[in-house]
Amino acid sequence: MKSVSFFVLFFFSSLHLAAKTDTSTYAPFDWIQINPNESFIDFAWERLPRGITRAMVESLLASPYNTSEDFLSLFYFKEQLLAVLPCRFEVLKWTGDRWENLYKGVASGFNCHPHFFVREGKLYSMGRYGFWRGHSELIWFDFETGFWEPIQVAAPPLNYRGHAIFVDGDQVFSILGQDIHQPSSLFQPNNKNGYVFDFKSQAWSSVQLNFPSQSNTSIWVVPSFDLKDYGLQVYWLDAQNGLLLFNKKENSLYFAKDNNFEEIAHFSVAIALENKAVFFDKIGDSTVLELDETSFREFQKLSTINFTKQSSSLGMKGWTFPMLGVLGLLLVVGGGYWWRKNQRAKRFADAEKLPPSAEQDIVDGEVICIIEKLLAQPLLQVDVHQLDELLGISSLENLDYTRVRRSRYIKAVNQYFQAQHGKELIVRTKSEVDKRVILYRILP
């Protein structure tokens, strides 16, 4: 592939350094990824961009917060160099001789295999695995409070963790993922489809990939890289090692066999700026990838990403669809009222016939396990579905049985926490946006 070549020196000298003054602390970059599994004993540190030092990297690798084998990420954000780590909520700031933790909480384990990115003055983390399930939760770090805050979204993917996550303006594409919910033995690839999140509407919708064939190897741990106009994914297609490229300009996927597959797949340090990326091996030799429109001459086009969310235009006049929606809503409300009135007696009768397990006492060990999960998750406020996931009762089919179990778990948790800490852990409240929605505050 002509666009990929080997370089040893001066890669970043061509990346707008002329626009920087001599007093600039760091050479420009969009992100840096560090592989904690590689040895840096023989690494040529002088080949890294200006400002990235041996002491900085080695102290980060030796940090007690470095508890995963996934890549560590660096961002130069609001005139400060930050490091974020997988499976951790710590946000570390380089002070010149050490890393200072800006995170004020104690939670961890929720954002394993995450995708960190910076957008419009905010630091984000998306997904991708935590507490035995895949997820696509999007959170951002509040530098004022020192805590991560969730983004309230509509129609989030259930138990889905996208592997290739690429940010394109107001959209975040999450593709080549897996559906994971280990308590129910769900662990399957989802290569044919994916999802896209829109920041403006704060809603998820699905996409269709239409691959001619799927990867023959699991892509759980292979790296992907997000550039300005392109996304890059180390990929196997029909037993061929290569690179999968996402062209953000046209929402298309391409593939090319690549002679530098190993250098990109097993890098020690990767650095990106706009549409260029450099991959350093364990001694500091570099492989440079620069993408532009001419790069695709040697790529095989695989698929165009199709948005599968229904359009509001279905061949009818603009006013017809809203009118039908109003009529449908009236029918649903009327039918729901009738059904509720006639079924209420039956529902309460069924609720009385609970399985024997519902009548059993909740043991202290079970309560302690639930408290640990509640304290470990990052959200200070959850809805009823998220609470049921944490309580381990989301798979129950009987709604009345679920409600009873939820109430008993909350009571048991609060009684135990009250005895140990003098306050309740779970507090029932109402949404400030919609008073009809019940939320639960976690007050550690």
Could you tell me the residue range of the domain that residue 415 belongs to?
A: 354-442
399 and 288 in a common domain: no
**215/218 Cα distance (integer angstroms):** 7
Whether omega before 50 lies within 30 degrees of 0, making that bond cis, reads no
- Distance in angstroms (rounded) separating the CA atoms of residues 40 and 62: 12
Strand 133-142 versus strand 147-150 pairing type: antiparallel
In a domain, 329, yes or no: no
Q: pLDDT, tens digit, for every residue of 354-400?
A: 444 443 456 667 788 888 788 877 777 888 888 888 888 877 767 77
Question: Which CATH number covers residue 358?
Answer: 3.90.1150
What is the pLDDT at residue 435? Answer: 67
In a domain, 346, yes or no: no
Task: Say what percent of the chain tops pLDDT 90.
Answer: 34
Q: What is the DSSP letter of 49?
A: P
Give yes or no: residues 376 and 289 share one domain: no
Query: Is 337 among the domain residues?
Result: no
Nearest-CA neighbor of 234 among 293, 176, 159? 176
Cα–Cα distance for residue pair 55/326, rounded to 1 Å: 64
Domain boundary (307, 341, 365) is at: 307
pLDDT surpassing 70 at residue 126:
yes
Shared domain check, 68 and 147: yes
- Give the CATH number of the domain where residue 224 resides: 2.120.10
Which residues 6+ apart lie within 8 Å of 42 measured at CB?
Answer: 282, 283
- Whether residue 131 sits in one domain with residue 32: yes
Distance CA 360, CA 341 (A): 32
For residues 192 and 77, state if they share a domain.
yes
On whether both 286 and 365 belong to a single domain, the answer is no
Q: Given pLDDT bands bounded at 50, 70 and 90, which one contains residue 327?
A: low
pLDDT at residue 248, rounded to an integer: 93
> Which one, of 404, 416, 414, lies nearest residue 359 by Cα?
404
Number of domain units in the chain: 2
